[in-house]
Amino acid sequence: MIVVDISIVITGLPRIQASLGFSSAQLSWVTNAYTLAFGGLLLLSARAGDVLGRRRMFILGLSLFTLASVSIGFAPSAAWLLTSRAIQGAGAAVLAPSTLALLSTHFAEGPDRTRALSLYAAAAGVGATLGLVLGGLFADLVSWRAGFFINLPIGLLLVIAAHRHIGETPRHAGRFDLGGAFSSTVGMTAVVYGLVRAADAGWHDGLSQASLAAGMLMIAAFVLIERKVRQPILPLRLLASRERAGAYVARMLFLGGAVGFWFFSTQFLQGVLHLRPLQAGLAFLPVTLPNFASAMAFPRLARRFGSERLLLIGLLLGVLGLAWLGRADATATYWRDVAWPMVLIGLGQGLLLAPLTAAGVAGVDPKDAGAASGLVNVAHQLGGALGLGLLVLVFASAAPSDADGASALAHRISAVMDVGALLLGLALLVSWFCIALPHRHRNAQHKEVLQ
């Protein structure tokens, strides 16, 4: 449900822009208003699940998410839409960590959890496919607004199913770290706002500089608060593990690069290749179907080759796919220049998300399951928000002055894909150093002990 709503926006972006009058830079806030509220409130919501019960928070998140979706469908203005998207992101922040924490605590580490997390990743692939196709279908044949109304019956059915089939988890006494939640949310929002405003006004704009500086100060304040508060929303002990810390950093870098593919590819398909919204939604099938297939095959492949090796292969495929897309220009054709790179990106994403998720919750004490699950989702959402802010800046500054509309758009998107490939390359290096090498070292020590 969450992934469908993220992707259903993507194919509707050009129609949303035309309907409500967004600029190219401001359009990114349709995504960022959601992801910043999502990422900023995740840690507090994860803590709330530990204290108040994860099923209760799961149902609360579903309800808030569903109501906000309906509000977006009725949005008469840009401000209304962005406000509703932020509320929807808050609902997702309540819902997502409860979902992953329930999986992590129900399935023990090993084959069962690997299978559960693979299905979790496969559900994301199905959701992405469904959202892109439905978003294009509704935007083309009905209205971009219709895509948000489908969450009402789905949300109601899920609330009923949760009451019937999910047992409540034990509650733990504790307090809420409101200072940490406030400083982290405000800090990340200020940084992303500074990046997006700089795309419109330039680096010399005073408000952009002030926003970036204030954001960095608030993030520093967040770290200090987490070191001193008795019950932090981010227990810093979670970062003591090289494997977990590497998984969080690699996830942020991966999403920072991948978000540019999802956000700007639809503009390339509609603005350069002149596909209709429905055609653009269907044009993502070469990425979403391989994504689903490789995610479903991951448990079997992991038993044979090892999950860490598959993680590196997945990131390498993503680097190659984005770099290939970066070669597309105004003369590109879909089958030659877009579809095949999408296949590589889809195969790679299906292989890498499950091991990154498993590494992010590896070795965590059950009392920290909610916080660790929240941190996985924080890395996912904030990596996407920061990456999109950076890539919007790249997009705004990349066009040559002598290019026409389609050529300029293609040139800008090519630059975005190149930077996205660079971010995935950094994620590959971090994964190799922090996840694959320690795992290889542990295996070698284990063999020596057996001998």
| Tens digit of each residue's pLDDT (9 = 90 or more) over 57-98 | 889 999 999 999 999 989 888 889 999 999 998 998 888 777
Lowest mean pLDDT across 82-91, 189-198, 300-309, 386-395? 189-198
Predicted local distance difference test score (pLDDT) of residue 309: 92
- Residues 260-282, mean pLDDT to the nearest whole number: 87
Residues 46 and 50: their CA atoms lie apart, in Å, by: 7
Q: Which long-range contacts (CB under 8 A, 24 or more apart) does 106-114 make?
A: 109/362, 111/299, 111/303, 113/358, 114/298, 114/299, 114/302, 114/307, 114/354, 114/358
pLDDT at 94: 86
385 or 80, greater pLDDT? 80
What is the pLDDT, as a whole number, of residue 172? 62
* pLDDT grade for 263, boundaries at 50, 70 and 90: confident
Cβ-in-10-Å burial (0-12, 13-18, 19+) of 206 comes to exposed
Region 412-441: what's the mean pLDDT?
92
- Angstrom distance (rounded) from CA 50 to CA 235: 13
pLDDT exceeds cutoff 60 at 451: no
> For position 118, what pLDDT does the model report?
75
Collapsed DSSP state (helix, strand, coil) of residue 332: coil
What integer pLDDT is reported at residue 420 of this predicted model? 96
Distance CA 16, CA 264 (A): 15
The secondary structure of 207-244 as a DSSP string is: HHHHHHHHHHHHHHHHHHHHHH-SS-SS-GGGGSSHHH
What's the start-to-end Cα distance of the chain, in Å? 49
CB 10 within 8 A of CB 266: yes
With cut-offs at 50, 70 and 90, classify the pLDDT of residue 433.
very high
Is 70 exceeded by the pLDDT of residue 143? yes
Residue 403 confidence (pLDDT) above 70: no
pLDDT of residue 13: 79
pLDDT over 80 (residue 126): no
25 phi, psi to nearest 5 deg: -70, -45
pLDDT value of residue 449: 59
Whether 405 has a pLDDT exceeding 80, the answer reads no
State residue 173's pLDDT score: 63
> pLDDT value at position 103?
76
Provide the CB-side half-sphere exposure for 258 (13 A, CA): 28
- Are 291 and 347 in contact, with CB atoms under 8 Å apart? yes
Q: Which of 20-24, 240-244, 332-336 is predicted with the least confidence, judged by mean pLDDT?
A: 20-24
Q: Cα(175)–Cα(179) distance, rounded to whole angstroms? A: 12
Query: pLDDT class for 417, splitting at 50, 70, 90?
Result: very high
Q: What is the mean pLDDT of residues 185-197?
A: 78
Report residue 444's pLDDT band, with 50, 70 and 90 as the boundaries. Answer: low
The answer to whether residue 431 scores a pLDDT higher than 90 is yes
* 327, two tokens: 């070669």
Q: Which helix (H) or strand (E) holds 369?
A: helix 369-398
Question: Is pLDDT of 200 > 90?
Answer: no
pLDDT at 429: 96
Q: Please state, rounded to an integer, the average pLDDT across all residues of the chain.
A: 83
Indicate the pLDDT class of residue 49, thresholds 50, 70 and 90.
Answer: confident
Least confident of 6-10, 314-318, 354-358: 6-10
Residue 201 has pLDDT above 90, yes or no: no
DSSP at 272? T
Which has more pLDDT, 255 or 373? 255
In whole angstroms, give the CA distance from residue 220 to residue 102: 31
pTM: 0.78
Identify the residue whose tokens are 């509320």: 87
Please provide residue 159's backbone torsions phi and psi, each rounded to the nearest 5 degrees.
Answer: -60, -45
Give the pLDDT band of residue 129 (cuts 50, 70, 90).
low
The larger pLDDT score, comparing residue 338 to residue 34, is at 338
